[in-house]
Amino acid sequence: MSVQEGTAHRPWVDKVLTVNGWLIFAFLYLPILILVIYSFSDSKVVGIWGGFTWKWYNRMIHNPEMMGALWNSAKVAFISTIISTVLGTLAALALDRYRRWLGKGAFDVIMYLPVIIPEVTMGAMLLIWFTQILPVNLSLTTIILGHIAFSASFVTIVVRARLANLDDSLEEAAADLYANRWTTFRRITLPLIMPGVMGGALLALTLSLDDVVITEFVQGPGASLLPVYVFGLIRRQVTPEINAVSTLMLALSMMLVFISLAFQARSISKSKNKEA
Amino acid sequence: MTMLDERPSEEANPELERKAERAESWRGFFTALPTYLYLVVFFVLPLIIITVISFAERSRTGKPVLGEWTLDWWIKLGDPLVRSVVFRSVWLAFLNTLLSLLLGYPFAYWIATRKSALMRNFLLVLVLIPFWSNFLVRTYAWRTLLDSNGLVTKVGEMTGLWGKMLFTEPAVFLGLLYGYLPFMVLPLYAAIEHLDWNLVEAARDLYADARKAFIKVTLPLSKPGIIAGSILVFIPSLGAYVTPDLLGGSKTTLLGNYIVTQFKSGRNWPFGAALSVTILAIMMVATIIYFRKGGKTL
């Protein structure tokens, strides 16, 4: 039975739900929309419309600190996403495909802790670890290490969900046909879990690009990431230039949403083709 | 492979079977090893160390002195000022979770019960966009709305209902609600979309009215979504740092800012460590209570 038949509401219930629904969408979207609009306003004060202009975008592009932070963000996000995707996928495979191994129970708990631990705690403990215990200087490297520490777990969750929904008959068939483990993994398992791996990677990328708290704890002097740099700007003074860079960050987030949706749509249509 | 050639070998060679199983288990271990090591070095050990540091004396620069121990920082948690920060944080996080649930449930229910699949997917994408959008940017949007020239302030002044809210507790609360509402909606949507509507139908066939069918069937069946959503909202609300920093003032300090302050201008790392462990403990206790209570009442 489909969703609709079980939910024959009285018309007024449906009307109230619909009005409530669109009101919540307005609540979610109006603030963002207004922010974007004022990034084009030719007035120094955000909130007063001064006519259309591109000047804040122009100023943003010619702000070397801002562009430096953007470049740092891209580097950190790229490296931490690749490493956490590999680590997270390996962990998911070990947890799902091997029934029993040394320390599996403990690993299963440890793996999920970074997801539920408050960000400030994570930032504080990494700061102490890097500066008081390990003999390292805070730099982009410590930021990358910190980002991997929390995003690998998110990748594991996503990939593990994908693995749990796969039946392993194809892998068994490959093994019966004398494919060795590596061939089976490369030709069968990996393509099957690829949508999960890509989903996990996109999540890791987003988490890295969004992070303020952990980065602020473990960043070195002079090498900041875009969100932390913008955070500092907002604290000092609100200007339409911040609206411009915010709009850029929103556009980036949206792009990632649509990429991930495209991946999902493709994997769904593929599995449907197979059924037909 | 047929049963015939498998069975004799199994009986004939249990030793071989056991060996294969052992090899398999080592393969699992080595597959996990890189991640295992990484998490031990960059998560488990730091977690142990921060707990140890919370008992260390503080040097003049605020950093911990290893080797000199004290209980001062844990005793300091009882100070009225610290207590009020902890209490306010827990209260706001609780309130935010409750309001997100009250707003999010009918919202998710509405999306999940739309008749056309196209409409459902479209509305879902509309929820996903703010969910994935940069959190700092979304908080910043409220900073300008609630400031003297902001739209919300102007509407409030026009109607005479409210004034400038920026740097007050309601502003922080509004920011938290706005920031984490999508985290509540998505798991709720997943739970409601997947529930077995046959059961709701059955309840209606057995003459339960709409309200009763909802309370006795739909609501309990969506419990996994309620639990997941509540945890996803409660944890980041409790540790919130960006929201109170940008929207609150000195009187609305929450645990998140208070901890960061200890490591920066407050210059008291060991006390910051004690607070960090405290926030983790509160979160774990709250999660356990929630799972237990949720299991009984819903």
Q: pLDDT tens for residues B281-298? A: 998 888 888 877 765 444
Bridge-based pairing state of the strands B56-58 and B64-69:
antiparallel
Asked if residue A202 belongs to a domain, the reply is yes
Distance CA B130, CA A209 (A): 15
Structural domain for A13, as ranges? 5-38
Does A32 sit within 8 Å of B133, measured CB to CB?
Answer: yes
Question: What's residue A274's pLDDT?
Answer: 54
B-contacting residues in A 173-202 (Cβ below 8 Å): 176
Instruction: Please check the confidence at residue A7 and state whether its pLDDT lies above 70.
Output: no
Q: How many CB atoms lie within 10 A of CB B127?
A: 21
Asked if residue A47 belongs to a domain, the reply is no
Domains of chain B: 3-53 (no CATH), 78-297 (1.10.3720.10)
Q: Are residues A14 and A78 in the same domain?
A: no
Distance CA A201, CA A260 (A): 10
Q: Are residues A176 and A204 in the same domain?
A: yes
- Rounded to 5 degrees, φ, ψ at B58 are -110, 140
The verdict on B69 touching A (C-beta cutoff 8 Å) is no
Asked if residue A225 belongs to a domain, the reply is yes
A-contacting residues in B 169-208 (Cβ below 8 Å): 178, 181-182, 193, 197-198, 200-201, 204
What CATH number corresponds to the domain at position A265?
1.10.3720.10
Residue A103 corresponds to which amino acid?
G
Q: Are residues A26 and A71 in the same domain?
A: no
Rounded to the nearest angstrom, the gap between the alpha carbon of residue B290 and the centroid of all alpha carbons in its chain is 13
**For residues B252-275, average pLDDT:** 93
**Element (H or E) spanning A76, and its range?**
helix A64-97
The alpha-helical segments, DSSP class H, found in chain B are 3-12, 14-39, 45-53, 72-76, 80-112, 117-132, 135-146, 151-159, 169-194, 197-205, 210-213, 219-221, 223-238, 242-247, 255-263, 269-297
Question: What's residue A273's pLDDT?
Answer: 60
Of the candidate ranges A84-98, A262-276, B66-80, the one whose mean pLDDT is the lowest: A262-276
CA of A116, closest CA in chain B: separation in Å?
A: 7
B-contacting residues in A 109-168 (Cβ below 8 Å): 110-111, 113-114, 116-121, 123-129, 131-133, 145-146, 148-149, 152, 156
Q: Are residues A166 and A30 in the same domain?
A: no
Instruction: Please check the confidence at residue B9 and state whether its pLDDT lies above 80.
Output: no
Q: Are residues A25 and A80 in the same domain?
A: no
**For residues A14-20, average pLDDT:** 92
Q: Spell out a b/e string for B35-57, using b for 16 or more CB atoms within 10 Å of the CB, else e.
A: bbebbeebbeebbebbeebbbbe
**For residues A81-99, average pLDDT:** 94
Residue A42 corresponds to which amino acid?
D
Half-sphere exposure of B260 (CA within 13 A, CB side): 21
Residue pair A122/A149 in contact (Cβ under 8 Å)? The answer is: yes
Q: What is the pLDDT of residues B94-150, one digit of tens each?
A: 999 999 999 999 999 999 988 888 999 999 999 999 988 999 999 999 999 998 888
**Element (H or E) spanning A110, and its range?**
helix A104-116
How many structural domains compose chain A?
2
Q: Are residues A143 and A27 in the same domain?
A: no
CA of B8, closest CA in chain A: separation in Å?
A: 18
Question: What's residue A4's pLDDT?
Answer: 47
Angle between helices B80-112 and A11-38 (to 10 degrees): 120
∠ CA A34-A36-A37 to the nearest 5 degrees? 65
Give me the DSSP letters along B156-174: HHHHTS----TTSHHHHHH
**For residues B156-177, average pLDDT:** 91
Torsion angle, alpha carbons of B163, B165, B166, B167, to 10: 120
The verdict on B52 touching A (C-beta cutoff 8 Å) is no
The verdict on A6 touching B (C-beta cutoff 8 Å) is yes
Asked if residue A50 belongs to a domain, the reply is no
Distance CA B167, CA A16 (A): 34
Question: What's residue A81's pLDDT?
Answer: 97
Q: What is the pLDDT of residues B200-249, one digit of tens each?
A: 888 888 877 878 888 888 888 888 899 989 999 999 999 999 999 999 98
Q: Are residues A113 and A188 in the same domain?
A: yes
Residue pair B233/B96 in contact (Cβ under 8 Å)? The answer is: yes
Question: What's residue B4's pLDDT?
Answer: 45
Percentage, residues of chain A above pLDDT 70: 93
Q: Are residues A87 and A188 in the same domain?
A: yes
Q: What is the pLDDT of residues A155-199, one digit of tens each?
A: 999 999 888 888 778 788 887 887 788 888 888 888 888 988 998
Question: What's residue B286's pLDDT?
Answer: 86
Asked if residue A43 belongs to a domain, the reply is no
Max CA distance (Å), chain A: 72
Question: What's residue B255's pLDDT?
Answer: 94
Residue pair B254/B242 in contact (Cβ under 8 Å)? The answer is: no
Does B142 sit within 8 Å of A31, measured CB to CB?
Answer: yes
Rounded CA Rg of chain B: 26
Question: What's residue B238's pLDDT?
Answer: 94
Distance CA A217, CA B151 (A): 34
Question: What's residue B198's pLDDT?
Answer: 84
